[in-house]
Structure 1
Amino acid sequence: MKWIIRGLGVLLLIAVIAVVGVLMLPADRIARIASDQLTRLTGRSVTISGDVSMTFWPVLGVSAGGLEVGNADWAKEGAMFSTAQAAIGVDASALLRGEIRITNVEATSPTIRLQSRKDGRANWVFTDADGAAQIETENAPSKPATPLTIERLVIRDAALIYDAEGADLVSYAGVDLTLDWPVQDGPAEITAALRPAGQVVELAATIDQFSGFLDGQVQPVNVAVNTSGGGLTLKGRASLAGAVAGALDLKTSDTGALLAALGAGGVDLPKGLGQSMHTRADITLTPDRRLSLRELVADLGGNTLRGGADIELNGTPQINAQLQAGALNLASLTAGSGEGGDAATTGWSRAPIDASGLSAFNGAIALNADNIDLGALKLGKTRSLLSNDRSRMVFELREVRGYGGLFTGEFVMNNRNGLSVGGKLRAGGVQIRELLSDLAGLTRFTGQGDAEVSFLGVGQNLDAIMRSLSGKGAVNLGRGSIEGIDLDDLLGSFDVKGGTTVFDALTGTYVIDKGVVNNTDLKMLLPNFEATGAGVVNLGARTLDYTVTPKALRVNKERGLAVPVRISGPWSDPKISADVKAVIDLNFREEVGRAEQKAKQKLEQKLEEELGLTRQEGQSVEDAVKDKLEDKLKKELFRIFD
């Protein structure tokens, strides 16, 4: 027993000497010992530098001017963690059991680089506890991960880099992060403040069984993100590899401000189209950044869309969506088409058109709506497909009901090499008065019929586009009318005093060149007349110069009576007048000819009497006068020789 007691005393003395010896070691030497032990336990190069201070029990604490944790051997981009000022505390008793239980980590202005590969490897998983490097081609860790717990992590002003293989690099500066993870197999609370564009974006998240989440397992999560313009919540499941599934709720008071805070500034959404919004959807995001939206309900500030979408988020988003809408108000898209005052008289807008949004996505979006209000145009049931490919957007009208008829065709906007617009449109059974009234403020024409047009225009504003238009088209109307002129009265009195002309049919074709519509074959059939038309409509200047020539068929000794009517001036208030000279030329050419012949005969007779002319057979009065003057001149000349 005595020898046992002596032996224990010797051991205790050795322990005391060892502890005292350790305590008497310089701090930098202790730091090197600690970094060597952490290197052995984690399999990563751990370097503690600068001014160092230590605590030993129950927490092994290190406060250092510099701390660096090396990256995995397969990650070549630099240290996983580096900072110029850090404090770290490790549970000493847990460390003796081979566990890394970090009680607290504090770092100021660190650089944190997180990397993962498609084969499942992640640089935050410590698998090489003996420091041996993995073979580059291994897909699974060769050793079990060292147990790791961080009870509390506080990081200020960090540079955070997340590099997932196959996805875009994510990098943030000025990140503040706090992690509370008191139990290794329990949940973790994370709060963060990010500044992608200078403004604070606040994040709060709860992740169940955080240790499993770090190992790549899918775990339940609750996430909330808030900015000055709005925020979102997500309740579902996620993994560190980038897989997410759950219920998303996005609500904004100013979507532009929210996007600016997230680093996507410069987006000015129209009212009713996302300027403010409340969107709910079931989402699924895969590690290769494929996003699926189902049960989508998006209130865009007055307009509500429902449906689903599949989106690829690598590079320019690739969208495939099916959307349904009830009443869709898109009047904000066409607001401000003039430059102040009455748009019908002030002309087309010269404000620059920003078409950069055409490069925001590629893909196809199918939209069905009960009715659409475009401000100037009011459409009924609509089935359409919008497709976009590298800044060339095609708006296909599969079925558009409006103005009593059906519209089909396509409209194209191309901003690949400057802005151009074009299309091919067809209308069947359309009420022309309502359509022309909404399009151009013209209310004088009525009728129902068919029309088609193909067109192309270029320019960076609406005025330039209208002045550059080229194309062609045709119109075929049934029974209708032209208000402001009564052709029956006109043909009776040649006086334009208003009224209405009713026609049975109207047909014609036209070509468009440099914004000017030219027509030469207009034909109208009236109960007792027929009418033709020719002239131009200047779309750029919003003027017209057009002549309609109605012809009464059973007058003027069955030769008919034609009265050309000229319509000219601005199309908001054109001038209508009859061309009396043309009336005479067209209808009384024979009578004028006979009258001129009688007058000529009377003049010749008078000349013969006054001059005493005697005309030879077949000789004209002019020749007779010439001969008489020559004879008289000869007689006067011959007198000189008398």
Structure 2
Amino acid sequence: MKWILRGIGLILFVVLVAVVSLMFLPADRIARIAADQLRSFTGRDVTITGDVSMTFWPVLGVSAGGLEVGNASWTDKGPMLTAANAAIGVDAMSLLRGDIRITNIEATSPTIRLELRRDGRASWQFTDASGAAQIETATTPARPARPIGIERLKVTDARLIYDAEGSDLVAYEGVDLTLDWPERLGTAEITATLRPAGEAVTVTATIDRFASFITGAVQPVVAELATGGDTLGFDGRASTSGAVAGALRLATTDTGVFLRNIGLSGADLPQGLGRSIDMRTDLTLTPDRRLALRDLVADLGGNRVTGAADITLRGVPQVNAQLNAGALDLTGATGGNTGGAGGGNGNVAPAGSGWPTDRIDAGGLAAFNGEIALRADSIDLGGLRVGATRALVRNDRSRMVIELREVAAYAGQVTGEFVMNNRSGLSVGGTLNARGIEMQPLLTDAAGLERFNGRGDADLSFLGSGASVDAILKSLSGKGAIKVGRGTITGIDLDRLMRAGDAGGGTTVFDSLGASFDIAGGVLQNDDLLLLLPNYRATGTGVIDIGAQTLDYLVTPTALRANAGRGVAIPVRIVGPWSAPRIKPDLQAVIDLNFAAEKQAVEARAKDKLRETLQQELGVSQQDGQTVEDAVRDKVEDKLRKKLFKLLE
């Protein structure tokens, strides 16, 4: 029992000596030791300034008025970390053994500057993170200092600056960061909260062998970014040099809000083209910021896309991608049904009330440069629907060219290109070449014209500008031609018209139709329509006001065998809105075309009768080369002259 009591007393004595030794250990001495260890740990200059005081609870350590950690030698942008208030805690027993085990570092309202150069150099890559470097003191220690560790790092209300060479400076205020690293050679848990746009953005990460990771080694990483119910997750391997490889997942309910929450320029993406995203892909990112996506599967809010992409993330992203889609619905981008016959869909006005005047947001054209090859089983453009499509999208500084290499549409094929240019205001244009197209469904979808049926070829070039569909179509210019084989026109029976003068109802069957046209100011002008029918021929001339959705067109059918072979023409005027045009014979034109000789004969007989009457009643005699009007005037002047002479006598 005596020896037990002596042992307990010895232990208490040692503890008392340790406590007293710690109490009399100068605070600036501990601060200097901690600074030396941090310097060895990071390879950077570490300075503790301001008033330094000891803390005994809850941990042994020092609090300082200021802490500064130097930056990499290749930058002149200032320290990597500066803090007005800092606290550093150490393990007491390790300190008595001559080792330094930093249990925690806390900094309040610091400024943290992270820099990345194009060549891959990063300011957060430390030269010695093993902790094996010796403490620099007045005398060289007899043995190397044992490795140190930082169990916990806590930063509150920080200002985080990210400066990547070649990109805009990014700064975040009010950042909270916690690092839990209980074992120096073990796993680190990181939690950070940022508020780039007011909404909290939480980043969590688990990094194996964290000591090797911060020196630039590639280590397993699991990370997730979450804000407002949207998440961006990664599971793979990464390094601080920017080398990343693994599985990436992205799930957003509103991509524009998600982008704004993380401090990027939000875009009002159309439904079906990324307004919401559910994506999975294998990702590889190199230190020079080249991103490769493979086995990409993305649901863009109703449209499912698969493929691969290579993206350069320096400045405006440079994209090279190959994408495949099934049934692609682009009505979200086109504003719904743009045809002139259907009812409103989305922001589209009903037929006859004009085109949509909502402002078109074309800012997305500046989001990337590059090329995207697209294959789709079918595409719904709202007003138009096409089948299997092979296209190439090229975008260069807000000018997008959609090259239609192969498009199955309306039982035929379409090639050409469509251009959207938003460099100095939005303009659209392009060329289209269609072969073997069924005209009735095409004209119904495009303009609400349901009366014309036939299969033919068409060529079109066009250009329009403006901030809305209405403005673009009212400014439209261009030219084109159309050639159709055998077909029908419903709503008018030319045979009945020629026989009975009735233009209403029925159907006209024709053998061929051809026409060319010019477009200026949104108005299509045609003067050479030629429609061939059995025993008939029809020509046409007039205007179609695309901007106003009206037409005024004169069709002149001619019965080739009537009137003793001279033909009989009965012009028909089609006038009014597209949705309900009026069809009526032009009687004045009927008279002018068919009774020109009879009209001249009647006029001649009337003049002869008038001449005889004047001669009998007035005694007027018409001289050679003199008109009846001149003869009457001369007769009247002669009589007035004689009366004037009598007054003067």
TM class by shorter chain equals 0.7 to 0.9
- Residue 494 of structure 1 aligns with which residue? 501
Q: Does 1:520 align with 2:521?
A: no
* Residues 33, 548 of structure 1: alpha-carbon distance in 2 compared, 3 angstrom cutoff: closer
Q: Does 1:583 align with 2:587?
A: no
* Residues 214, 619 of structure 1: alpha-carbon distance in 2 compared, 3 angstrom cutoff: closer
Partners of 1:30 and 1:621 lie apart in 2 by 130
- Residue 418 of structure 2 aligns with which residue? 411
Does structure 2 retain, via aligned residues, the 8 Å contact 1:41–1:98? Answer: no
Deviation at 1:25, TM superposition (A): 6.7
Q: Does 1:594 align with 2:601?
A: yes
- Residue 45 of structure 2 aligns with which residue? 45
- Residue 395 of structure 2 aligns with which residue? 388
Deviation at 1:93, TM superposition (A): 6.3
Q: Counterparts of 1:557-572 in structure 2 under 5 Å?
A: 557-572=564-579
Partners of 1:248 and 1:636 lie apart in 2 by 114
Partners of 2:580 and 2:257 lie apart in 1 by 45
Partners of 2:120 and 2:607 lie apart in 1 by 110
Deviation at 1:79, TM superposition (A): 2.0
- Residue 125 of structure 1 aligns with which residue? 126
* Residues 75, 130 of structure 1: alpha-carbon distance in 2 compared, 3 angstrom cutoff: farther
Q: 2:552 is matched with which residue: 517, 523, 545?
A: 545
- Residue 203 of structure 2 aligns with which residue? 203
Q: 1:461 is matched with which residue: 456, 465, 468?
A: 468
- Residue 108 of structure 1 aligns with which residue? 108
Partners of 1:446 and 1:516 lie apart in 2 by 23
* Residues 239, 533 of structure 1: alpha-carbon distance in 2 compared, 3 angstrom cutoff: same
SS of 2:77's equivalent in the other structure is coil
* Residues 571, 33 of structure 1: alpha-carbon distance in 2 compared, 3 angstrom cutoff: closer
Does structure 2 retain, via aligned residues, the 8 Å contact 1:44–1:131? Answer: no
SS of 1:199's equivalent in the other structure is coil
Partners of 1:559 and 1:636 lie apart in 2 by 58
* Residues 462, 115 of structure 1: alpha-carbon distance in 2 compared, 3 angstrom cutoff: closer
* Residues 186, 234 of structure 1: alpha-carbon distance in 2 compared, 3 angstrom cutoff: same
* Residues 531, 146 of structure 1: alpha-carbon distance in 2 compared, 3 angstrom cutoff: farther
Q: Does 1:88 align with 2:95?
A: no
- Residue 482 of structure 1 aligns with which residue? 489
1:520 maps to a residue whose letter is D
Deviation at 1:110, TM superposition (A): 1.7
What's the CA shift string for 1:491-523, capped at 9, x where partnerless? 223332322221111111111111111111111
- Residue 319 of structure 1 aligns with which residue? 319
Q: 1:361 is matched with which residue: 348, 359, 368?
A: 368
Deviation at 1:51, TM superposition (A): 3.6
Partners of 2:647 and 2:73 lie apart in 1 by 135
1:125 maps to a residue whose letter is F
SS of 1:435's equivalent in the other structure is helix
- Residue 139 of structure 1 aligns with which residue? none
Please say which of residues 383-392 and 487-496 is displaced more in the overlay. Answer: 487-496
Please say which of residues 108-117 and 204-213 is displaced more in the overlay. Answer: 108-117
2:126 maps to a residue whose letter is V
* Residues 229, 387 of structure 1: alpha-carbon distance in 2 compared, 3 angstrom cutoff: farther
1:68 maps to a residue whose letter is E
Please say which of residues 86-95 and 604-613 is displaced more in the overlay. Answer: 604-613
* Residues 28, 632 of structure 1: alpha-carbon distance in 2 compared, 3 angstrom cutoff: closer
- Residue 12 of structure 2 aligns with which residue? none
- Residue 334 of structure 1 aligns with which residue? 334
Deviation at 1:81, TM superposition (A): 2.4
Please say which of residues 338-347 and 266-275 is displaced more in the overlay. Answer: 338-347
Partners of 2:641 and 2:210 lie apart in 1 by 134
Please say which of residues 546-555 and 614-623 is displaced more in the overlay. Answer: 614-623
Does structure 2 retain, via aligned residues, the 8 Å contact 1:41–1:129? Answer: no
- Residue 6 of structure 2 aligns with which residue? none
Q: Counterparts of 1:233-312 in structure 2 under 5 Å?
A: 233-312=233-312
* Residues 579, 153 of structure 1: alpha-carbon distance in 2 compared, 3 angstrom cutoff: same
* Residues 60, 531 of structure 1: alpha-carbon distance in 2 compared, 3 angstrom cutoff: same
Deviation at 1:148, TM superposition (A): 4.5
2:363 maps to a residue whose letter is S
Deviation at 1:276, TM superposition (A): 2.1
Does structure 2 retain, via aligned residues, the 8 Å contact 1:166–1:288? Answer: no
SS of 2:271's equivalent in the other structure is coil
2:50 maps to a residue whose letter is G
Deviation at 1:568, TM superposition (A): 1.3
Partners of 1:124 and 1:374 lie apart in 2 by 50
* Residues 131, 513 of structure 1: alpha-carbon distance in 2 compared, 3 angstrom cutoff: farther
- Residue 440 of structure 1 aligns with which residue? 447
**TM-score, length-normalised on structure 1?**
0.86
Partners of 2:588 and 2:444 lie apart in 1 by 33
* Residues 28, 569 of structure 1: alpha-carbon distance in 2 compared, 3 angstrom cutoff: same
Deviation at 1:613, TM superposition (A): 8.6
What's the CA shift string for 1:109-152, capped at 9, x where partnerless? 122234466476755525486779xxxxxxxxxxx999452111
What's the CA shift string for 1:150-180, capped at 9, x where partnerless? 1111221122334466776554322212212
Deviation at 1:616, TM superposition (A): 9.5
Partners of 2:523 and 2:632 lie apart in 1 by 56
What's the CA shift string for 1:183-239, capped at 9, x where partnerless? 122111112212222211112211111111112111111112211141022111111
SS of 1:522's equivalent in the other structure is strand
Does structure 2 retain, via aligned residues, the 8 Å contact 1:167–1:289? Answer: no
* Residues 341, 302 of structure 1: alpha-carbon distance in 2 compared, 3 angstrom cutoff: closer
* Residues 47, 541 of structure 1: alpha-carbon distance in 2 compared, 3 angstrom cutoff: same
Does structure 1 retain, via aligned residues, the 8 Å contact 2:560–2:568? Answer: yes
Deviation at 1:615, TM superposition (A): 8.9
SS of 1:585's equivalent in the other structure is helix
Please say which of residues 59-68 and 434-443 is displaced more in the overlay. Answer: 59-68
Q: Counterparts of 1:135-284 in structure 2 under 5 Å?
A: 147-163=147-163, 169-284=169-284
SS of 1:566's equivalent in the other structure is strand
2:355 maps to a residue whose letter is W
Partners of 2:642 and 2:44 lie apart in 1 by 139
Does structure 1 retain, via aligned residues, the 8 Å contact 2:433–2:460? Answer: yes
1:465 maps to a residue whose letter is I
SS of 1:344's equivalent in the other structure is coil
Deviation at 1:37, TM superposition (A): 6.9
Does structure 1 retain, via aligned residues, the 8 Å contact 2:37–2:100? Answer: no
What's the CA shift string for 1:46-100, capped at 9, x where partnerless? 3323342226999761122322223343332222322122221234665688865
RMSD over aligned Cα, in angstroms?
3.5
- Residue 359 of structure 2 aligns with which residue? 352
1:212 maps to a residue whose letter is S
SS of 1:151's equivalent in the other structure is strand
Question: Which structure is richer in relative contact order (CA contacts within 8 A, separation 6 or more)?
Answer: 2
Deviation at 1:421, TM superposition (A): 0.9
* Residues 57, 73 of structure 1: alpha-carbon distance in 2 compared, 3 angstrom cutoff: farther
SS of 2:149's equivalent in the other structure is strand
* Residues 162, 100 of structure 1: alpha-carbon distance in 2 compared, 3 angstrom cutoff: farther
Does structure 1 retain, via aligned residues, the 8 Å contact 2:335–2:347? Answer: no
- Residue 4 of structure 2 aligns with which residue? none
1:234 maps to a residue whose letter is F
- Residue 77 of structure 2 aligns with which residue? 77
2:502 maps to a residue whose letter is D
Structure 1: 5+ residue stretches without partners: 1-15, 133-143
Does structure 1 retain, via aligned residues, the 8 Å contact 2:36–2:136? Answer: no
What's the CA shift string for 1:392-448, capped at 9, x where partnerless? 011111111111111111111111111111111111111111111111111111111
Partners of 2:638 and 2:466 lie apart in 1 by 76
